[in-house]
A and B are shown apart, each in its own frame.
Chain A
């Protein structure tokens, strides 16, 4: 049973465009929603995260939008750059995360110059 569904699987965006990746979750106990960025041959690295008490969080060109009633959250990358080409994972955890993160299946993002 997949608790975090991520879409799309792959995404191609032109340089300067907006990249949007969506995730939906089922477990209403989830209270922490991070996004990880992974480059080939490297481990995932935390990009940005949100908790359900806010509907949006912005850090530079990266924004998380969170819709608690719909149980959905999304990552927006503004002014996408070729250096943003990577695999992005959404994740979720609950109760302080003692039992780990539940990850989506990932989105392979390509930014075309």
Chain B
């Protein structure tokens, strides 16, 4: 069975500093990987995804993530945090041929300080 671990339930970063959110997974087959963002009282919005091809993927709002198969990781980064990045971030994994079902991590709340 697959599982997803997000290291750190809360992360505080200064405006302009690097944002790094960690995601590790376990899966019996190479999975599809996703990062979603959730703003207060809203649904989830896709930031980026990895399915096949280039392992460094770029998403919206200046975020990017790198799939490292050997480390079973898919960490999310942004070089310079903005106040608008304050939100909760979820890593999700889907195994091929699983009806598209997602396994989510527990989420990481990002706080951006001036």
Partners in one complex: no
